[in-house]
C-alpha cells in the first residue's frame, strides 16, 4: 500500500511531462524547468493536462469529442472551464466551436494575470512565472520565444511624433488610432505584466487598465470574463492616456485582423525585459521608423530620452572633450523600436523620426506569422502535423498555400526536403476533402 501514492505521482508526472512537450512543439516553445512543471500543476488539473497534451493546433470541439470517445456536452463544459482560466482559446465559426491550446507566451501567462483571481495561488504563480520568464540565468524561455526575426509583437510608431513635412504615409495597420477606431469589437483588460509585477511588489506607477483586444480575440476574452467591453471612443481615450504616461504601443505582428494592442513600460513588460536583460534586441519587431539625434541640439540631459526609451536604446555618454558639451545622448539604432516616445520627451527638439532603410517584414495574417516563426525555429514539421491532426488536410493545404506565397526564401527552402514525399500526398488528400476551417 505504501507504493500506491508513488505510482499515482508517476502517472501524473508523465501527464505533465507530455503537456510540457506539447507546449514546446509550438513555435514559441516551452523549455522544461522545475518552475514550468510547478506552474502546469497549479493551472491544470491532471485530467485537464491530459486533454491539453493532445490538443492539435486548432480543432472543432465536436470532432475532438468523437476522436476521444467523449460526451460532447461534458468536453464542452471542461473546455469552457479551461477557457475561463485562459488555458485554451476558443472561437465560434459558422455555428461550430473550435478550440486551441494557449501557448505560454503570448498565452496563459497573460491570461493568468489579466485579473487577480481568488481561485488560484496568484502570489506563488507570480513568483514561479518570474523565475521561468525573467530570473533563469540562461533565459531559456526568452531564447525560445524570441528566436529569429519574426516575433509575436511589433512596435507601433507614435503618430504624433512623425514629421509633418513632407507628408508622411502611414498605413492603417501601422497606426494605433486606426486599429482601435476601425475595430468591430473592442475590449480592455488589466495589463498582465504590471499586474504580475504588482504581485511581486515591484510594479511601476503606470496605468494598469491598458491592454486592448479586438474583434474575435476580444470576443473570446469577453466570453471568458478576462476583459470588459468598451466603445471605440473609450479605447482611443485609453490609448491617449497611455501615450501621456509615456507607454510604448506594441501590437499583434500582423497586417490583418490585429488581435491586441499593449501599452508597454520598459520595467514590467516581458518583451521589453527580453530586450533589456537577455540582449534579445529583436524580441519586438521595430516600426518602419528609427529615431535620430541631432548632436547640435542635444543637451545630454538626465531625464529626457534616456529614461523615456523602454528598450534602453539611448544612453547618456561623456563627450570626453569632443564638443562644447560635457554629455550627449547616443542612440543604438539596432535596438531602437521606432516607437517615438523619446521624441515627445525631449525638451530641446533634438530628436526626430526618419524612415528605416529596410522595412521590417510584417506577416499578413496570424497563419503567415505562425509559419514564418515555425520555419525560423525549426518547427515546421510540428506545425504541419498538429494542423493535419486537428483541422484536416484542407487546413494543411491552406497552410501550405500561405507558405508558398511567403516572400521569405527561407520558408521555401525549409519545405523543400518534404515536397517529394510528404506534401504531395497531403495535397492529393486535399483534393478529396471539402471542409472549410477558420483561420487561426
- What is the per-residue pLDDT for 414? 45
Cα 422 to Cα 314: distance, rounded to the nearest angstrom: 49
Cα 132 to Cα 31: distance, rounded to the nearest angstrom: 9
Note the pLDDT tens digit of each residue in 172-188.
Answer: 889 999 999 999 999 99
Whether the pLDDT of residue 116 is over 80: the answer is no
HSE-CB of 72 using CA atoms within 13 angstroms: 8
Nearest one of 210, 39, 233, 53 to 125, comparing CA atoms: 39
The H-or-E segment that residue 97 falls in is strand 96-101
Could you tell me the three cell numbers for 101?
A: 491550446
CATH topology of domain 4-143: Arc Repressor Mutant, subunit A (1.10.10)
Whether the pLDDT of residue 73 is over 60: the answer is yes
pLDDT band at 139 (very low <50, low <70, confident <90, very high): confident
pLDDT band at 157 (very low <50, low <70, confident <90, very high): very high
Q: Which residues contact 115 (CB under 8 A, 6 or more apart)?
A: 189, 190, 195, 225, 226
Cα 210 to Cα 228: distance, rounded to the nearest angstrom: 11
CATH number of the 289-355 domain: 3.30.70.20
For cell 509633418, the residue is 164
Could you tell me the three cell numbers for 366?
A: 496570424
What is the C-alpha R_g of the chain? Answer: 23
- What is the per-residue pLDDT for 106? 87
Asked if the domains at 4-143 and 289-355 fall in one CATH topology, the answer is no
Strand partners, 189: 211
Provide the 3-class DSSP secondary structure of residue 263. strand
Question: What's the whole-model pTM score?
Answer: 0.86
Do the strands 88-93 and 59-60 form a parallel or antiparallel pair, or are they unpaired?
A: unpaired
Nearest one of 353, 264, 357, 346 to 311, comparing CA atoms: 264
Which residues of 274-431 form beta strands (DSSP E)? 289-293, 314-318, 327-331, 351-355
Q: What is the average pLDDT across 2-29?
A: 79
User: What is the layout of strands, in order, in the sheet containing 88-93?
Assistant: 59-60, 96-101, 88-93
- What is the per-residue pLDDT for 413? 46
How far, in Å, are 31, 93, 252 from residue 103 at the CA level? Answer: 12, 21, 15
Between 11 and 363, name the one with better pLDDT: 363
Could you tell me the three cell numbers for 175?
A: 497606426
Can you give the residue ranges of every domain in the chain?
4-143, 149-276, 289-355, 366-431
Task: List the end-to-end C-alpha distance of the chain, in Å, as a whole number.
Answer: 48
Q: How many CB atoms lie within 10 A of CB 142?
A: 25
3-state helix, strand, coil in the chain (%, to 5): 45, 15, 40
Cα 129 to Cα 135: distance, rounded to the nearest angstrom: 9
Mean pLDDT of the chain: 85
Note the pLDDT tens digit of each residue in 392-432.
Answer: 555 566 666 655 555 444 444 444 444 434 444 444 444 34
Note the pLDDT tens digit of each residue in 312-358.
Answer: 999 998 876 566 677 889 999 999 999 999 998 999 999 999 999 88
- What is the per-residue pLDDT for 215? 95
Q: Which residues contact 95 (CB under 8 A, 6 or more apart)?
A: none
Note the pLDDT tens digit of each residue in 358-391.
Answer: 889 898 888 888 888 887 887 877 777 776 555 5
Amino acid at each position: 500500500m505504501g507504493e500506491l501514492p508513488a505510482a499515482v505521482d508517476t502517472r501524473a508526472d508523465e501527464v505533465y511531462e507530455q503537456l510540457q512537450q506539447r507546449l514546446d512543439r509550438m513555435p514559441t516553445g516551452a523549455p522544461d524547468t522545475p518552475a514550468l512543471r510547478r506552474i502546469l500543476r497549479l493551472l491544470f488539473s491532471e485530467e485537464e493536462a491530459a486533454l491539453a497534451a493532445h490538443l492539435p493546433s486548432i480543432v472543432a470541439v465536436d470532432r475532438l469529442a468523437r476522436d476521444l470517445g467523449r460526451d460532447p456536452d461534458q468536453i464542452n463544459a471542461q473546455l469552457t472551464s479551461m477557457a475561463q482560466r485562459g488555458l485554451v482559446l476558443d472561437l465560434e465559426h459558422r455555428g461550430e466551436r473550435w478550440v486551441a491550446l494557449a501557448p505560454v507566451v503570448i498565452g496563459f501567462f497573460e491570461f493568468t494575470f489579466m485579473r487577480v483571481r481568488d481561485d488560484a495561488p496568484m502570489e506563488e504563480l507570480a513568483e514561479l512565472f518570474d523565475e521561468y520568464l525573467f530570473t533563469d540565468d540562461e533565459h531559456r524561455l526568452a531564447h525560445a520565444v524570441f528566436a529569429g526575426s519574426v516575433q509575436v509583437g511589433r512596435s507601433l510608431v507614435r503618430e504624433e511624433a512623425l514629421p509633418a513635412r513632407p507628408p508622411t504615409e502611414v498605413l492603417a495597420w501601422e497606426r494605433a488610432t486606426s486599429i482601435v477606431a476601425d475595430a468591430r469589437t473592442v475590449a480592455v483588460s488589466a495589463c498582465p505584466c504590471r499586474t504580475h509585477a504588482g504581485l511581486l511588489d515591484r510594479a511601476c506607477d503606470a496605468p494598469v487598465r491598458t491592454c486592448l483586444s479586438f474583434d474575435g480575440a476580444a470576443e473570446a476574452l469577453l466570453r471568458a470574463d478576462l476583459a470588459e467591453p468598451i466603445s471605440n471612443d473609450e479605447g482611443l481615450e485609453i490609448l491617449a492616456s497611455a501615450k501621456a504616461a509615456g507607454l510604448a504601443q506594441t501590437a499583434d505582428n500582423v497586417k490583418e485582423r490585429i488581435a491586441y494592442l499593449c501599452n508597454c513600460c520598459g520595467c514590467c513588460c516581458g518583451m521589453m525585459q527580453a530586450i533589456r536583460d537577455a540582449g534579445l534586441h529583436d524580441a519586438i519587431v521595430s516600426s518602419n521608423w528609427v529615431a535620430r539625434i541631432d548632436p547640435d541640439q542635444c543637451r545630454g540631459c538626465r531625464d529626457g530620452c534616456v529614461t523615456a526609451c523602454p528598450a534602453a536604446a539611448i544612453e547618456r555618454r561623456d563627450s570626453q572633450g569632443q564638443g562644447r558639451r560635457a554629455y550627449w545622448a547616443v542612440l543604438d539604432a539596432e535596438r531602437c523600436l521606432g516607437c517615438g516616445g523619446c521624441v515627445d520627451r525631449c525638451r530641446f527638439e533634438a530628436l526626430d523620426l526618419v524612415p528605416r532603410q529596410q522595412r521590417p517584414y510584417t506577416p499578413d495574417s496570424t497563419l503567415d506569422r505562425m509559419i514564418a516563426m515555425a520555419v525560423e525555429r525549426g518547427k515546421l514539421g510540428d506545425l504541419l502535423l498538429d494542423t493535419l491532426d486537428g483541422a484536416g488536410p484542407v487546413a494543411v493545404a491552406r497552410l501550405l498555400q500561405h507558405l508558398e506565397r511567403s516572400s521569405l526564401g527561407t520558408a521555401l527552402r525549409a519545405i523543400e526536403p518534404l515536397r517529394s514525399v510528404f506534401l504531395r500526398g497531403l495535397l492529393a488528400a486535399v483534393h478529396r476533402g471539402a471542409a472549410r476551417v477558420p483561420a487561426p
